[in-house]
């Protein structure tokens, strides 16, 4: 008689360990998504159109590479550290470096030249690398869920935990920079050569570094909390590899569902609202 395999679920420390990784990553990414525009336009003095283009490219690349990395994690052969878990570490060094360097531009735009090429190139390169590396980590984290939590009730539990952490991350990433702005002598004059601007140049990098350190700790907790040893004993030895093209084609299927389109519309306007609130 074949042995009945019990569905895998996340409970206790494993549940917290898995969910808190998303918390640390989302906290830093939200800070960048909301306040990078303010920082570079109003303090560094970079042209708003250039910054907007950089942020738009960041979002587009995140959408594209989430599919590419999803296929990569699906096709990877399980190894010593698991199947998807290693991807948390693959993207971590670049994500950490760019999340910190974003708040330390080596050049500020001159008073009479907001289209200063070195600053523009620096911003675009750093934010693009940050987007790609962050997407790799996030994709690996999300793709673990169907394998780690295999029951409907447990997935609701995981979703509730993730929602709780998302709310806390949203509050912190919006509140701390606004608290810094509240102590400025003149919040309307925050260019890098002005007194209030110098305050922002000091505190925003500190907040960014603090969030990144917390993000690294939480992602490492996820790495050590998640157990992928079941891949080594899996009876499904012949996995059919996916192609990126086929994955893009499958995306059309849910788009035909009316309820799914409504759901995506809500997500879209919620995202716009959060960015307007920050900007």
Whether the per-residue pLDDT at 278 is higher than 90: the answer is: no
Does some domain include residue 7? no
Full-model pTM: 0.83
Residues 35 and 155 in one domain: yes
Does some domain include residue 1? no
Does some domain include residue 6? no
Contact by Cβ (8 Å): 109, 116: yes
Total count of domains within the chain: 2
Residues 277 and 213 in one domain: no
Residue 109 maps to which CATH number? 1.20.1250.20
Domain boundary among 240, 255, 271: 240
Residues 82 and 171 in one domain: yes
* Reported confidence tier of residue 77, pLDDT bands at 50, 70, 90: confident
Does some domain include residue 3? no
Residues 252 and 229 in one domain: no
Residues 187 and 270 in one domain: no
Q: In whole angstroms, how large is the CA radius of gyration of the chain?
A: 21
Which domain range does residue 113 map to?
12-240
Q: What confidence tens digit (pLDDT) does each residue in 193-240 have? A: 999 999 999 999 999 999 999 999 999 998 888 877 676 665 554 556
The pLDDT of residue 1 is 43
Q: What confidence tens digit (pLDDT) does each residue in 25-44 have? A: 999 998 898 889 989 999 99
Q: What is the rounded CA–CA span in Å between residue 220 and residue 141?
A: 12
The pLDDT of residue 215 is 93
Does some domain include residue 55? yes
The pLDDT of residue 213 is 95
């Amino acid at each position: 008689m074949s042995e009945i395999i019990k569905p895998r679920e996340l409970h206790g420390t494993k549940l917290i360990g898995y969910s808190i990784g998303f918390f640390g990553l989302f906290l830093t990414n939200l800070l960048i998504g909301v306040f990078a525009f303010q920082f570079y336009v109003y303090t560094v003095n970079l042209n708003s159109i250039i910054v907007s283009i950089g942020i738009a490219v960041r979002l587009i690349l995140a959408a594209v590479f989430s599919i590419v990395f999803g296929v990569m994690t699906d096709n990877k052969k399980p190894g010593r550290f698991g199947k998807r878990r290693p991807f948390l570490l693959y993207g971590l060094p670049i994500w950490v470096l760019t999340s910190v360097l974003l708040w330390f531009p080596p050049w500020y735009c001159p008073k009479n030249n907001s289209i200063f090429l070195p600053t523009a190139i620096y911003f675009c390169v750093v934010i693009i690398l940050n987007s790609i590396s962050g997407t790799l980590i996030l994709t690996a984290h999300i793709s673990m869920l169907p394998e780690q939590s295999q029951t409907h009730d447990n997935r609701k539990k995981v979703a509730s935990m993730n929602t709780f952490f998302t709310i806390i991350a949203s509050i912190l990433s919006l509140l701390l920079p606004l608290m810094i702005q509240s102590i400025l002598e003149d919040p309307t004059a925050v260019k890098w050569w002005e007194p209030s601007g110098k305050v922002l140049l000091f505190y925003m990098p500190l907040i960014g570094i603090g969030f990144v350190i917390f993000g690294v700790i939480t992602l490492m907790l996820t790495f050590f909390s998640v157990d992928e040893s079941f891949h080594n004993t899996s009876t499904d030895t012949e996995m059919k590899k996916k192609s990126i093209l086929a994955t893009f084609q499958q995306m059309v299927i849910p788009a035909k569902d009316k309820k799914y389109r409504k759901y995506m519309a809500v997500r879209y306007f919620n995202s716009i609202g959060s960015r307007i609130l920050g900007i």
